């Protein structure tokens, strides 16, 4: 039994058809670079080593992939998939098992790979193949009359009869590292593309009488590789639909499963009860948790946040890096920015921006406000048009609004400033000194009426 697993990720291809300065494997699917998805799946298999074979744009790939434990093998020039794996060979432990993955096949599942690894640990060459409707351009699996796999022939090298075969090579395989070390140096490049084909090791295994086993993935999208923006967009939609199906299976109501985008991890409900409802065109980024009975209106963008039970997020609301309690009502058109905590039963209304602030239980800011760097206590009412003036042009300052404060409309709170417990601030006041508790603070402004004043009239044009 070979325990130690060595994963090789091929990522040296240029990806010319993406027409991009960004290396192909860094293009995102469901919010993270394709290569990072593959690496996450690789890590889920608990390997002892992961080696990425890189080439074109490799420095950018390395810089954007922060993992000290990764091993990197440069392939230059790129002489084929067999040559690519050969570059990784010195990094692999000779008494382990090797698994070959692809940086541009982002959605392969850990379950599918685990089956290949298990077979390789039992001293077999395990190869992932699939019967597909359109095999164009792909390597075909050749079998004998007894249906035993014999070899792989690339589309460009195949005869017309072989091109009728619908069982294709996905590229994924696993086997003892020692076998790779034995076969790879024997590869020849006498083929239509003048490349060292990794696929040729299958015929070598058969010739040597080694045990060869084929497996198939549960779904075709697992083995779909990306070469163009069109393919990337199609795979994105397929994957989003899979996420939508999972959410619905867990009890989430989606107004339209084709109109949700999860670019990270979205969890809904508490595992038993869900009753979360999400309207159309919402985007979830990073890590988002929606507690039972949360309702999300149309066109909301939620990033790295957690929303408490029975809270309602109304349409066109944007939330980034915030924690929101139970029974709250946020939006429509609210903007909740990083480092914000909104306690239970808070109301944040339309065109209200909240940044780096905490809002206590039952407090409300319902209309047209900016609340930045502020601590708001419980049962506070912030009137329409209230602005915290937190920035003096050089530094940010905090505003503290204690429990049961009532702030009238159109108030400016010039930070640093403290509004004492139970204070009332008159409408239109500019508060630039601390306001004492339980009293009314206001700026006295005289109201005068000019009775003999006349509205200007429009001048007649000549």
Q: Using the minimum distance from each CB to ligand UD1, give the nearer residue, 80 or 308.
A: 80
What would the x/- binding string for ligand UD1 be over residues 160 to 179, using CB under 6 A?
Answer: --------xx-x--------
Q: C-beta of 153: minimal distance to ligand UD1 in Å?
A: 9
332: preceding bond cis by omega (within 30 degrees): yes
Q: Give backbone dihedrals phi and psi of 117, rounded to 5 degrees, phi first.
A: -65, -40
Q: Which two tokens stand for residue 417?
A: 């400033």
Active site residue 367: yes
Q: Binding segment for ligand UD1 among 106-114, 194-202, 311-319, 334-342 (CB under 6 A)? A: 194-202
Q: C-beta of 191: minimal distance to ligand UD1 in Å?
A: 8
The interface with ligand UD1 within residues 9-28 (CB under 6 A) comprises 10-13
Strand pairing of 149-153 and 140-143? antiparallel
| Sign of the torsion angle spanned by Cα atoms 128, 132, 134, 135 | positive
Cβ neighbors of 200 (< 8 A, separation 6 or more) are 82, 151, 152, 187, 188
Q: C-beta of 171: minimal distance to ligand UD1 in Å?
A: 4
Q: Using the minimum distance from each CB to ligand UD1, give the nearer residue, 130 or 361.
A: 130
Radius of gyration for the chain, computed over Cα atoms and rounded to the nearest angstrom? 31
Q: Using the minimum distance from each CB to ligand UD1, give the nearer residue, 198 or 425.
A: 198
Burial environment of residue 410 by CB neighbours within 10 A (0 to 12, 13 to 18, 19 or more): middle
Can you tell me which of 128, 138, 177, 300 binds ligand UD1, judged by CB under 6 A? 138
Q: What pairs with residue 372 in β-bridges?
A: 355
Q: Which two tokens stand for residue 18?
A: 């993406």
Q: Using the minimum distance from each CB to ligand UD1, give the nearer residue, 165 or 427.
A: 165
Please tell me the distance from the alpha carbon of residue 188 to that of residue 82, in angstroms, as a whole number.
10
Contact present, 138 and 130 (Cβ < 8 Å): no
Q: Using the minimum distance from each CB to ligand UD1, give the nearer residue, 199 or 299.
A: 199
What would the x/- binding string for ligand UD1 be over residues 204 to 233, using CB under 6 A?
Answer: ---------------------x--------
The interface with ligand UD1 within residues 313-352 (CB under 6 A) comprises none
Q: C-beta of 78: minimal distance to ligand UD1 in Å?
A: 3
Q: C-beta of 204: minimal distance to ligand UD1 in Å?
A: 14
Q: Binding segment for ligand UD1 among 195-203, 299-307, 311-319, 454-462 (CB under 6 A)? A: 195-203
Q: C-beta of 316: minimal distance to ligand UD1 in Å?
A: 40
Residue whose beta carbon is closest to ligand UD1: 139
Q: Mark out the alpha helices in 122-276 (DSSP H runs).
A: 177-183, 200-207, 229-249
Please tell me the distance from the alpha carbon of residue 159 to that of residue 157, in angstroms, as a whole number.
7
Q: What pairs with residue 399 in β-bridges?
A: 374, 417
Residue reference for tokens 């392969």 = 108
Please tell me the distance from the alpha carbon of residue 454 to that of residue 126, in angstroms, as a whole number.
93
CA distances to 102, 138, 139, 149 from 189, in Å: 21, 18, 16, 22
From 56, 155, 347, 367, the catalytic residue: 367
Question: Nearest 5°: CA angle at 104, between 51 and 12?
Answer: 55
Does residue 37 interact with ligand UD1 by CB under 6 A? Answer: no
Of 175, 170, 178, 180, nearest in space to 119 by CA: 175
What would the x/- binding string for ligand UD1 be over residues 74 to 113, using CB under 6 A?
Answer: -x--xxxx-xx-----------------xxx---------
* Total chain residues near ligand UD1 (CB under 6 A): 26
Q: Binding segment for ligand UD1 among 7-15, 174-182, 372-380, 416-424 (CB under 6 A)? A: 7-15
Q: Which two tokens stand for residue 212?
A: 């060869």
Q: C-beta of 196: minimal distance to ligand UD1 in Å?
A: 8
Q: Where are the beta strands (DSSP E) in 66-166?
A: 71-74, 97-102, 125-131, 140-143, 149-153
Q: Using the minimum distance from each CB to ligand UD1, give the nearer residue, 80 or 372.
A: 80
CA distances to 164, 177, 278, 374 from 265, in Å: 41, 35, 15, 30
Q: Using the minimum distance from each CB to ligand UD1, give the nearer residue, 53 or 425.
A: 53
Q: Binding segment for ligand UD1 among 4-12, 63-71, 256-264, 378-386 (CB under 6 A)? A: 4-12
Can you tell me which of 197, 221, 239, 370 binds ligand UD1, judged by CB under 6 A? 197
Q: C-beta of 116: minimal distance to ligand UD1 in Å?
A: 15
Q: Which residues are near ligand UD1 by CB under 6 A?
A: 10-13, 53, 75, 78-81, 83-84, 102-104, 138-139, 152, 154, 168-169, 171, 197-199, 225
- Which residues participate in catalysis according to the annotation? 367
């Amino acid at each position: 039994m070979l325990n130690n697993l060595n994963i090789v990720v091929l990522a040296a291809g240029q990806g010319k058809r993406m027409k991009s300065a960004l290396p192909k494997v860094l293009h995102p699917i469901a919010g993270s670079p394709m290569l990072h998805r593959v690496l996450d799946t690789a890590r889920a298999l608990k390997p002892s080593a992961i080696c990425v074979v890189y080439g074109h744009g490799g420095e950018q790939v390395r810089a954007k992939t922060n993992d000290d434990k990764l091993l990197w093998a440069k392939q230059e020039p790129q002489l084929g998939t067999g040559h690519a794996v050969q570059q990784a060979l010195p990094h692999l432990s000779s008494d382990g098992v090797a698994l070959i993955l692809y940086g541009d096949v982002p959605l392969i599942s850990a379950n599918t790979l685990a089956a290949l690894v298990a077979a390789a640990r039992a001293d077999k060459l395990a190869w992932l193949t699939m019967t597909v409707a359109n095999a164009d351009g792909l390597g075909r699996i050749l079998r004998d009359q007894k249906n035993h796999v014999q070899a792989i022939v690339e589309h460009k090298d195949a005869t017309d009869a072989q091109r009728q075969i619908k069982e294709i090579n996905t590229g994924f395989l696993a086997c003892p590292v020692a076998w790779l070390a034995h076969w790879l140096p024997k590869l020849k490049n006498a083929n239509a593309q003048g490349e060292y084909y990794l696929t040729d090791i299958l015929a070598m295994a058969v010739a040597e009488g080694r045990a060869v086993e084929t497996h198939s993935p549960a779904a075709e999208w697992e083995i779909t590789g990306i070469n163009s923006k069109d393919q990337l967009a199609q795979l994105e939609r397929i994957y989003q639909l899979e996420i939508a199906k999972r959410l619905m299976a867990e009890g989430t109501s989606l107004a339209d499963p084709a109109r949700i985008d999860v670019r990270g991890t979205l969890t809904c409900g508490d595992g038993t009860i869900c009753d979360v409802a999400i309207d159309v065109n919402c985007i979830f980024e990073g890590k988002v948790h929606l507690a039972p009975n949360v309702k999300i209106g149309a066109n909301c963008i939620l990033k790295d946040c957690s929303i408490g039970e029975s809270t309602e997020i109304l349409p066109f609301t944007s939330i980034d890096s915030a924690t929101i309690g139970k029974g709250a009502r946020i939006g429509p058109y609210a903007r909740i920015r990083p480092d914000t905590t909104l306690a239970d039963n808070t109301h944040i209304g339309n065109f209200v921006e909240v940044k780096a602030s905490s809002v206590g239980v039952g407090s409300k800011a319902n209309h047209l406000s900016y609340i930045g760097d502020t601590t708001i206590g419980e049962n506070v009412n912030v009137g329409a048009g209230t602005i915290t003036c937190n920035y003096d042009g050089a530094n940010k300052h905090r505003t503290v609004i204690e429990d049961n404060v009532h702030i009238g409309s159109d108030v400016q709170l010039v930070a640093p400033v403290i509004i004492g417990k139970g204070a009332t601030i008159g409408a239109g006041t500019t508060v630039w000194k601390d306001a004492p508790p339980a009293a009314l603070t206001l700026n006295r402004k005289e109201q005068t009426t000019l009775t003999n004043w006349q509205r200007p009239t429009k001048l007649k044009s000549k």
